[in-house]
Amino acid sequence: MVETRTAYESLLTRVEKPGRYLGNERGMVHKDPASVQLRFALAFPDVYEIAQSHPGLQILYDLLNRRSDVYAERVYAPWFDMEAELRRAGLPLATLETLTPLRDLDVVGFTLQYELTYTNLLAMLELGGIPLHAAARGAADPLVIAGGPCAFNPEPIADFLDAVVLGDGEHVIHDICNTLIAWDGRERSALLAALAGIRGIYVPAFFEPRYGPHGKLVEIRPLRTGYERVEKQIVADLNTVPVQQTYVVPTLQIVHDRPSLEVMRGCVKGCRFCQAGYIYRPLRERDPRRVLEQAEEAVRQTGHDEVSLLSLSTGDYSCVNPLLTELMNRLAPQKVAVSLPSTRVDALAPSLLEQIKRVRKTGFTLAPEAGSQRMRDIIQKEYQEAELIAAAQQIFSLGWRSLKLYFMLGLPSETEADLMGIVDLSAKVAAAGSFRKEVIASVSSFVPKPHTPFQWAPQIPIAEIESRQRLLRRELGKGRIKFRWHDARLSFLEGIVSRGDRRVGALLLQAYQLGCRFDGWNEVCRFDLWEQALRDTGISADFYLRRRTLDEVLPWDHLSSGVNKTFLQRELARAFERTLTPDCSIERCTYCGACDFTTVRNVDYHLTGAKGSEHRGEVIDHWASDIVPDSDTAGAWEPRGWHKVQAKQGGEQPVGTSTPLLDATSVGAARPPAETARGLGNAEEWLSAGGEALAPVVDTVGPPQTRIRLTYTKLGRARFIGNLELTTLFYRAARRAGLPLAFSQGHHPLPRFAFGPALPVGVESVCELVDIDLVEPLGAEDVRRALGAQLPEGMEITAAGAIPLGGPSISARIAAIRYRVDVRQHINGDGGAGMRRRIDAFVESADFPLRKRVKGTERIVNARPYVAGLQLLEAATIEAMILHGAAGTLKLTDLLGAILELDEREARALPVRKVATVFGNELSLSDAASAAAV
C-alpha cells in the first residue's frame, strides 16, 4: 500500500492541482476493505471541484458508509494532465480513499448530471481497467451502474452500462447492495435479472431498439416477460432519509464550497422546458425542524461559513421565511451566511431578502428565463414584468450591487420580439438600479429535454443560435448591460445526446477515442474532433435535433418519470394556447400522474391555511380535457397551438433547417386571462407573513484580546495543500474547534489569521507559522490542543505561544529559510563527486544567472546573493539556506534544477523539506548583510 501511494504521489508534483487526487479530506471514511462484503465506487465523470460539490453524491457516501458491510469510496474524472501521467506511469484510475483500481471494486456507480460528461465516463472506465461495453464484462468485473437526471434517457450510453437507476437513490441503493451481496458471483445475467426485479432499475440489455426504414425508432422491444416498462423510484417522505452524519470537507476549493441542505425535492410550477420539474415530481418538502437540525450539525462538523438551502426553487418552500429567520438567528452570530442558490422571481419577498443579507450579500441571480410576456406564457412562467422590476428595486435598495438575470434563447416559436424582450427587460432592471448597478444578462440556449412538454420541439442549429446571440450582444451593449452566453457548439452536442437513442453510443465512443474529454468545458472542448466523429460514424446531427412528431416512438418511452405522456402533450397544447397551468401544491391537482395519493403525493409544511391544501390530491379534475381530447392514442391529436405555428411557418420544416423567427403576433393574439388566481395562502403572501419577526443580529464579536503564534508541520500528503486552500482549511478547523475568533470588518468578515510566507506546493515543512487573533484571553496550550485535533494528517501543531497584539508580522521578521533536499536519485556512480563540484562552483561564484518567475512574467536574476549556504551532506542530502528580503526570495527547486542541470519535471519532483525558519535576530552578521542586500 505504501508503495502504491508513493507511486501515485510521485505523479502529483507534475499535475496542475494535486489536491484533486489527494483524498485526505476531513470526514473521508476509513475502513478496512477486508472487513466489508461490498466495495462501492461512487463515481462522478467530472473534476473534483465539480464532483465534490454535488450534494447527492455526499448523501449516498454517508448512507452507504453507515453500513458495516459496505465501503463506499469516491472516484472522479482525472484532468488531462493526470490522465496523461497515469497512462505514462501505467497506473490505473483508483479510488481516493484506498487507491484501489476501479476494476477491483464490486460496483462503480456514476452520477450523471450532464450529457457532456459521457466521454469522461468512458475514460474513467478504461483507465480503471473495466471493459467499456457491458456485453464484454464477465463475472469478475464490477457492476457499472448510473443514476441522476440524465438517467431518464440513458440510451446513448446504454451499451456501456449494466444497469440504470431511475429516480431517487436513497432507498434503492440499499436494494442494489443487498442484491449484490446475495449474488453467488457466478452468472452475470443472473445478477442483472435480480436487479431488474427492483423498482426503478433499468437493465438496457433486456430491451432491444428496432429502427424503421427512415431511421426512426419504431419499437423498444422488451426481451423479458413482465419487464416492459420501468417506473422510477421515489422517496415519498424525505424525512425518512436519515440526517447526514458525515461530511467530507474538501481541502481544495470547490465550486459550491458549502454544505447544501435539501429543503425540498420536486417542483410543481410546471415550467415547460425544465426536465427537473417533471422527473422529480411530486413536491416533497422536508420538515423545517430537520433542516435546522441538519444545518447546525453541518456547520459544527465542517466549520464552513455558509450553508445553502437547496431545491429547485427554495423561495417556494412553504416555511422559507420562518426557517430563514430561525437559521439566521442561530448562525449569524457565528458569521455563517445562508444562501439560496435558485429563486424564482415571484417567490421573492422583501422579508426573504432581508434575511439573506443579514450576514453577507451573496451574489444575486434571478431567472426570468424569457423577456416577453408571450414567451413567459408559453414556457409557463407566472411572474409579471412589474414583479421582476419590484424585486430588482428591492435587491438593489438592500445593498446588492450586481444582479444576474438568467434567460434562454431558442425556445419554441421564438420571435425577434421575444429576443428584444430580453433586452427591454434587462434595461428596465438596470433602470431599477438607477443605471449605477451592474446588470448581467446571462443567456443560455434551449435544448429540448426528454420527459418535458417541449421534448417534441426542434432545437435551433448553431448558426441560428449564434445569429440570435449577435443580436443580443449588440442590443444589450447599447444599454451597457453585460452579456454572457453559452457556447452554441456545446448546446448542439448536448442536443444530440440528450434526445439520442442507442446509436449515439457509437458517436460517443468515437469522440472518446479521438481524444474528446470534458466536452462541457468550452475552453477545452475539441469540437473539431466531434465533427470528425460525426463524419466517421455517419450520424446525422439534424436527425437528433429535429422536431419529433407526437406519434413518434421516443427512445425513453419505456422509462417512466411518473408523469404521463398525455399530460405532457396537453401541456404542449396549453403552451401554444398561452394558457398557464395551476400550481397543484397551491390550487388543485392537474393530474400529471406523479402521485398515487396513498403513499405518494405533494408534501409540505405550512401554517394552517397558508396554502390551499385541503383539496390537493383529493380531487382529480380533468380540467384539461376541454383543451384537447383525452386520448393516449399516438397521433390521435396534435395540439391546436402547434398547428397554428406550423400554418404560420408554411407547413412542416425539413429536418435540420433553422426555425425562422416568427412574427410576434403569430401565436395567440391576445393573452388569455391567467388561470392561476392568487388565492388564499399564495406563496408570496406567505413569504411576507413573517416580516415582523425579524430582529437585527447583535454582533457579539468584539476586538481581539489575544494573539497566538502557532508552529505547525506540513508533511506527507499535506504538502500538496495549496496556500489558498490552507487558509480556508485553518478557518474551518478553527470554527470546528470553537475558538473565539476575531473577525475583520467589512462586507465579508473573515477570521483574523496571519500566515507566514507561502510554501510552494509539494514542499514539506516542519516549521510553518500562523498568528491567530482571539476575542477572549485563551491559553496558547488550549488553542494548540483544540485546533490540532481538527487538522488533517501531516499537519501537527508543534509549538504555541502568546505574542503581543501590536508586534511585527511573521513575514516582516523572517530573514532566511533552511531547507533539506534528498538527492539520492541524482547521485551518479561517482558517489556524488560531480554534484559536489557543481555546488562548490556555485558557492564560489559571484554571479549565477537564474530564470525567476514573478507574477506570470520571467526575468533573469543573479541567484548568488539569495543563498547564504549550500552544501552536500554525507547522506546524499543538500542543505540550503535561502535569504528573504525586500526583493523576495528564490524557489529552491528552480535553483537546484539550474545548478544540477535537471529538467523541469525532475526539478519539480525533488523532495524538499523546509527545516527551519530564521528570524532576523538569529542570522549571523555576514548572512544578515547578505539578507539586507537581497
Interface with ligand SF4 by CB under 6 A: which residues?
268, 281-282, 584, 589-595, 602, 617
Q: Which of 55, 102, 116 is nearest to 74 (CA)?
A: 102
Q: Which of 511, 502, 516 is nearest to 535 (CA)?
A: 511
Residue 612 C-beta: closest distance to ligand SF4, Å: 12
Q: What angle do CA 642, 644, 645 make, to 5 degrees?
A: 65
Contact of 770 with 356, CB cutoff 8 Å = no
Residue 769 C-beta: closest distance to ligand SF4, Å: 58
Comparing CB distances to ligand SF4, the nearer of 281 and 719 is 281
Side chain identity at residue 703, one-letter code: P
Q: Which of 338, 289, 266 is nearest to 309 (CA)?
A: 338
φ/ψ (deg, to 5) at 895: -65, -50
> What percent of the residues of the chain are helix, what percent strand, and what percent coil, each to the nearest 5?
40, 20, 45
Give residues with Cβ within 8 angstroms of 233, minimum separation 6.
165, 166, 167, 168, 169, 171, 172, 199, 200
Comparing CB distances to ligand SF4, the nearer of 590 and 706 is 590
Side chain identity at residue 681, one-letter code: G
Q: Which of 94, 431, 499, 52 is nearest to 258 (CA)?
A: 52
Comparing CB distances to ligand SF4, the nearer of 118 and 591 is 591
Comparing CB distances to ligand SF4, the nearer of 563 and 791 is 563
Helix (H) or strand (E) holding 425: helix 416-432
Q: Which of 446, 381, 371, 461 is nearest to 416 (CA)?
A: 371
Give residues with Cβ within 8 angstroms of 798, minimum separation 6.
711, 712, 713, 766
Comparing CB distances to ligand SF4, the nearer of 576 and 591 is 591
Residue 592 C-beta: closest distance to ligand SF4, Å: 3
- Could you give the 3-state DSSP secondary structure of residue 368? strand
Q: Which of 444, 452, 448, 534 is nearest to 499 (CA)?
A: 448
Comparing CB distances to ligand SF4, the nearer of 355 and 590 is 590
* DSSP, res 34: G
Distance CA 412, CA 680 (A): 34
Comparing CB distances to ligand SF4, the nearer of 579 and 602 is 602
C-alpha cell, 278: 417533471
Comparing CB distances to ligand SF4, the nearer of 374 and 601 is 601
Distance CA 575, CA 322 (A): 35
Residue 563 C-beta: closest distance to ligand SF4, Å: 7
Residue 583 C-beta: closest distance to ligand SF4, Å: 8
Comparing CB distances to ligand SF4, the nearer of 114 and 591 is 591
C-alpha cell, 548: 419529433
Find the helix packing angle between 488-498 and 504-514, rounded to 10°: 140
Q: Pairing mode, if any, of strands 877-883 and 207-211?
A: unpaired
Place of cell 448512507: 63
Residue 573 C-beta: closest distance to ligand SF4, Å: 16
Comparing CB distances to ligand SF4, the nearer of 110 and 152 is 152
Q: Which of 851, 873, 872, 869 is nearest to 860 (CA)?
A: 851
Comparing CB distances to ligand SF4, the nearer of 575 and 595 is 595
Residue 263 C-beta: closest distance to ligand SF4, Å: 18
Residue 264 C-beta: closest distance to ligand SF4, Å: 13
C-alpha cell, 510: 468515437
Contact of 45 with 120, CB cutoff 8 Å = yes
Give residues with Cβ within 8 angstroms of 531, minimum separation 6.
none
Residue 278 C-beta: closest distance to ligand SF4, Å: 10
Residue 817 β-bridge partners: 882, 917
C-alpha cell, 706: 489575544
Residue 567 C-beta: closest distance to ligand SF4, Å: 8
Comparing CB distances to ligand SF4, the nearer of 570 and 864 is 570
**Torsion-angle region of 276 (φ positive above 0: left; ψ -120 to 50: alpha; else: beta):** alpha
Residue 274 C-beta: closest distance to ligand SF4, Å: 14
Residue 589 C-beta: closest distance to ligand SF4, Å: 3
Distance CA 885, CA 921 (A): 14
Contact of 802 with 782, CB cutoff 8 Å = no
Residue 281 C-beta: closest distance to ligand SF4, Å: 5
Comparing CB distances to ligand SF4, the nearer of 388 and 584 is 584
Comparing CB distances to ligand SF4, the nearer of 372 and 452 is 452
Residue 601 C-beta: closest distance to ligand SF4, Å: 6
Comparing CB distances to ligand SF4, the nearer of 137 and 281 is 281
C-alpha cell, 288: 423545517
Comparing CB distances to ligand SF4, the nearer of 203 and 584 is 584
Residues 91, 94, 99, 102: is their CA dihedral positive or negative?
negative
Contact of 307 with 261, CB cutoff 8 Å = yes
Residue 270 C-beta: closest distance to ligand SF4, Å: 8
* DSSP characters over 661-681: PBPTTSS-SSPPPPS----TT
Comparing CB distances to ligand SF4, the nearer of 341 and 593 is 593
Distance CA 119, CA 505 (A): 10
Residues 742, 746, 749, 754: is their CA dihedral positive or negative?
negative
Comparing CB distances to ligand SF4, the nearer of 467 and 564 is 564
Residue 208 C-beta: closest distance to ligand SF4, Å: 32
- Could you give the 3-state DSSP secondary structure of residue 152? helix
* DSSP, res 910: -
- Could you give the 3-state DSSP secondary structure of residue 838? helix
Residue 588 C-beta: closest distance to ligand SF4, Å: 8
